[in-house]
Amino acid sequence: MMASDQEIRFRFDARKAAQAANKVLLLSGGCRNYMELIRLLYLADRAALLRLERPITGDSVAALRHGLVLCHVLDLIRWGPCNEEDAPWFETISALDGYTVKSLAEFDDDELSGAELRILEEVFAEYGNKDWKELSRLTRQLPEWDDPGEGSSLVGAEQILKSNGKSAEEVKRIRADVFAYDRLDREVSKFEQQEQVVKFGK
């Protein structure tokens, strides 16, 4: 299948997600209702996708009856790690305590770009004073949300882009850029793995 025929998908980055979440938690005083955190992270990912053409966390998005959420972040908070790649999240963000999660570390932004940090700060400045009910209501008013009834439905990146005014040509270009970036990233990762094999084989 040609890249132009495939849906845009991003790879979840636990380290970037943890740093973004920690930024929001520290701006909130060190702890936050977990559904508020997830919705604020979604709003930041959404803003990054529309402005930078890539979300911050790379997480997939689901529409629930009560609004939009980041799927893997929600699973990490509710159920714990899925694999060893999730470790950075739990080094930075606490386990769920009632409905609250806490920051476990000082802020580290080495994985976040300046533009991503500005987006997180802007989202917090605009929406950080809202509670979980208000954030739920807000995400239900976004054009990419469709009521899934009692279940849930995935909301793809292209749905978010198109419902917020991106043309078919713009989406096609973004799709090509994403696949080119991911192909390069895989090649770099493969090269680094080969270098490690050579290094430890000596």
Q: What is the pLDDT of residue 198?
A: 56
Whether the model clears a pTM of 0.75, i.e. scores above it, the answer is yes
Please, are residues 154 and 61 in contact by the beta-carbon 8 Å criterion?
yes
Alpha-carbon distance of 74 to 198, in angstroms, equals 39
The label of the residue with tokens 């090649």 reads 187
Alpha-carbon distance of 46 to 132, in angstroms, equals 18
Alpha-carbon distance of 69 to 88, in angstroms, equals 20
Q: What is the pLDDT of residue 188?
A: 60
Identify the helix (H) or strand (E) that includes residue 95: none
Length of the chain counted residue by residue: 202
Per-residue pLDDT reduced to its tens digit, 52-61: 999 999 999 9
Per-residue pLDDT reduced to its tens digit, 123-170: 999 999 999 999 999 999 999 999 999 999 999 999 999 999 999 999
Q: What is the pLDDT of residue 200?
A: 56
Number of domains, the chain: 1
* Domain that residue 41 falls in: 3-201
Q: What is the pLDDT of residue 185?
A: 63
Alpha-carbon distance of 101 to 104, in angstroms, equals 9
Burial of 95 (0-12, 13-18, 19+ CB in 10 A): exposed
Please, are residues 143 and 58 in contact by the beta-carbon 8 Å criterion?
no
Q: What is the pLDDT of residue 82?
A: 80
Q: What is the pLDDT of residue 5?
A: 57
Structure token pair of residue 160: 């978010």
Please, are residues 44 and 120 in contact by the beta-carbon 8 Å criterion?
yes
Q: What is the pLDDT of residue 196?
A: 56
Q: What is the pLDDT of residue 2?
A: 42
Residues of the chain by 3-state class (helix, strand, coil), percent to 5: 60, 10, 30
Residues of the chain with pLDDT under 50: 1-3
Q: What is the pLDDT of residue 190?
A: 59
